[in-house]
Amino acid sequence: MENHSRSKNYYEYLAKYILEEFLPQDFCDLTISDRPDIKQSDKTGIEVTRTFIANQAYAEGIFEQIKNKQLGEISPVKISKLGRLGYRVLENKGVVAGICPREAFWVNIEPLKKAFSEKLRKLRDYQTDKTYLFIHAPMFDLYDDADIRDFAAWAAELQKDYSYQYSKVFVYQVTHLSICSLQEKQVTTMKLDQSKVHWCCEQAEAKA
């Protein structure tokens, strides 16, 4: 299946701008790199990953082609494709504003666990002394505080016997940013100013 999703760079830049904008006391002058994806210095870095719900990446790619357009201008083929993928169009005054799954789905933290375990295995190859993990959640406010606490406790337990460990995990859900301090087993959740989030998204779009 052809992949129409945004580039990996977009999500790396978005993570960079979110951290710099909302946690300036801890993050500044971040640079896009490799292994890990973002570096603050030679010894401090951030790995970036995403979680998905079914068919999300392909549906997002179609949305990128039709967003902010009048519904009447859009090919019925694209609307039909979204329908077959299990998504419907959200419109505001006849203009495409978003997409969402057609059916309710069971929320669980397995995608977060999978993302963490996969990135933990890769951590051994990095040269940084302190490494963070930034996870883009698949949609707005999918996980509540209890979900994030359960995930953080699981992640802390999983990595406790590893010689290489993530210091913190950031779970970004557009309206909130959860900060999981794994070594201290603490979770803090910040509500994000949406005008600042929009600015971060624009900057990431321009760079990617």
pLDDT string in tens for the chain (208-residue length)? 333 446 789 999 999 999 999 999 999 999 999 889 999 988 899 999 998 776 777 888 888 899 889 999 999 999 999 988 888 888 888 888 888 777 655 568 888 999 999 999 988 888 788 999 999 987 667 789 999 999 999 999 999 989 899 999 999 998 899 999 998 989 999 999 989 998 998 999 899 8
- The answer to whether residues 183 and 167 touch, using CB atoms and an 8 Å cutoff, is yes
Which residues on neighbouring strands pair with residue 49, listed in sequence order?
A: 135
Q: pTM (2 decimals)?
A: 0.79
Structure tokens at 117: 């375990």
Measured on CA atoms in the order 48, 138, 166, 123, is the torsion positive or negative? Answer: negative
pLDDT value of residue 4: 40
